[in-house]
Structure 1
Amino acid sequence: MQTKENIKKWFKAARVDDFPKNGGACVKYKDKQIAVFNFTRRGEWFACQNMCPHKKEMALARGMIGESKGEPKVACPFHKKAFSLCSGENINGEEDPVTTYPVKVEDGYVYIGLS
């Protein structure tokens, strides 16, 4: 898990309006696909790798977001494997965690923190 303290670069992903409310979209940075989530019900933004470790499919940006015991999560749209949007841990405990990235919003744009 990356934190805002160890960020070397902030990648300007897209305008806030380019992301669906209470949903996700995929952005590309070099060879990375990053799922970005506008969790408007919580008033928060999250980002993680787009690849689900279960079947190695680039699908998490299309997953359903919600909460598990107050923890924001995303569930893979294909196999329903759920991952914490804060830590990346697999909530089901069956798969490897996903990489998460810090997100900030400034002047109407979404930025993703990269180390």
Structure 2
Amino acid sequence: MSTLSTTGITWFFACKTTDVPANGGVCIKFKEEQIALFYFTRSDAWYATQNLCPHRQQMALSRGMTGSHQGEPKVACPFHKKTFSLADGRCLNDEHECSLTTYPVRTEDDRVYIGVRENEEAY
């Protein structure tokens, strides 16, 4: 695993851009944690969240259905269909529900990097 630290964020190599299905997600393991990584082709945008669904405590969000809600990218848990914003992690079904941890994503030369905050490595 290669990492680079900048401005309080450690960036680790997650995968190649071709490893992620268009308009879908994959699960990336970082240390002992699972992170869901998503790619939206229409906007050429990348998002990363915790893979653990906070509602049912299942590692499933990377297999969720992606889409948008009023222009905001979202993922729906494949088990109970709670939807979460990929931009900021909040639950879109109920503002009082649990939210997701989100991570910054960047690409360089067909490689995808996910950033985790130092001293807070993966939720």
TM-score, with length taken from structure 2: 0.86
- Bigger CA radius of gyration: 2
1:79-94 alignment runs, 5 A limit? 79-93=80-94
| Bigger relative CO (Cα 8 Å, ≥ 6 apart) | 1
Q: Against the structure 1 CA distance between its residues 95 and 6, is the aligned structure 2 distance closer, same or farther, given a 3 Å change threshold?
A: farther
Work out whether residues 7 and 113 of structure 1, in 8 Å CA contact, stay in contact via their aligned partners in 2: no
Give percent identity, aligned residues only. Answer: 55
SS in 2 for 1:46: strand
1:1-115 alignment runs, 5 A limit? 7-93=8-94, 95-115=97-117
Long gaps (5+) in structure 2: 1-5, 118-123
Long gaps (5+) in structure 1: none
Deviation at 1:31, TM superposition (A): 1.4
TM-score, with length taken from structure 1: 0.92
> What is the alpha-carbon root mean square deviation over aligned residues?
1.3
SS in 1 for 2:62: helix
